[in-house]
Amino acid sequence: MHPKLPKEIEPLRLAQNGLKLSGELLVKDMPRLCESLTDNKGQIRVDLAFDMDEIGTPYMAGQLKADVSMTCERCLSPMTVNLSVDCLLAMVISERKIAALAEQYDPWLLESNAPVPLNAVIEDELMLALPLVPRHKEACLPSDAWFSGDEREIEEDEPQKESPFAILSQLKDKQ
């Protein structure tokens, strides 16, 4: 185990040596992820294990945990989203080898044996785990009741007004 995470890794070499990496990264160091968040505060707990499976496929098994802040789409207020990501990535150098991977793996296409920025890999996995429509688990009311489309909120807040065409209905009934 390494106490501090490196900025760049050589995934194939790490898998051949069966190494493990653990540590924390800052959310603010992931600009693409921050675009979907309300702030860039917080840390990401990273636990990665690199190894080779029984048929020689290099892989990375990882667990990522972070609490990030997003905007609730229902009430438009900030909310905390707990991300817990388990990933199992098989390293391939050629797109042709992706079809031959076992089902449990997600492909990680490496362009060469060149070092890979660790932040980019972690950021990709976290972005895939973000909810498409973040909402509080408990019921929350939007700031404007008309926005929610829930007519019950409007009925409870305002007295029911009589339709201006109700008099026409009365005239029709007299005929």
pLDDT at residue 69, as a whole number? 93
Among 17-26, 43-52, 80-89, 129-138, name the one with the lowest average pLDDT: 129-138
How many Å apart are CA 144 and CA 142, to the nearest integer? 5
pLDDT, average across residues 82-105: 88
Residue 91 domain-assigned?
Answer: yes
Per the structure, how many domains does the chain have?
1
Look at residue 42 and tell me if it is in a domain.
Answer: yes
* 174 part of a folded domain: no
Amino acid at 101: L
Residue 72 lies in a domain: yes
Residue 167 included in any domain = no
User: Is 82 within the bounds of a domain?
Assistant: yes
pLDDT interval class at 121 (50, 70, 90): very high
Q: Closest by alpha carbon to 79, among 43, 29, 39?
A: 39
The domain in which residue 79 lies consists of: 8-141
Q: Is position 40 within any domain?
A: yes
pLDDT at position 154 is 47
Closest CA to 6 of 127, 121, 106, 125: 121
Task: Give the residue-averaged pLDDT of 63-68.
Answer: 94
Percent of the chain with pLDDT over 70: 85
Confidence of residue 145 (pLDDT cuts 50, 70, 90): very low
- pLDDT tens for 12-50 read 999 999 999 999 999 999 999 999 899 989 999 999 999
The answer, yes or no, to whether residue 98 has pLDDT greater than 50, is yes
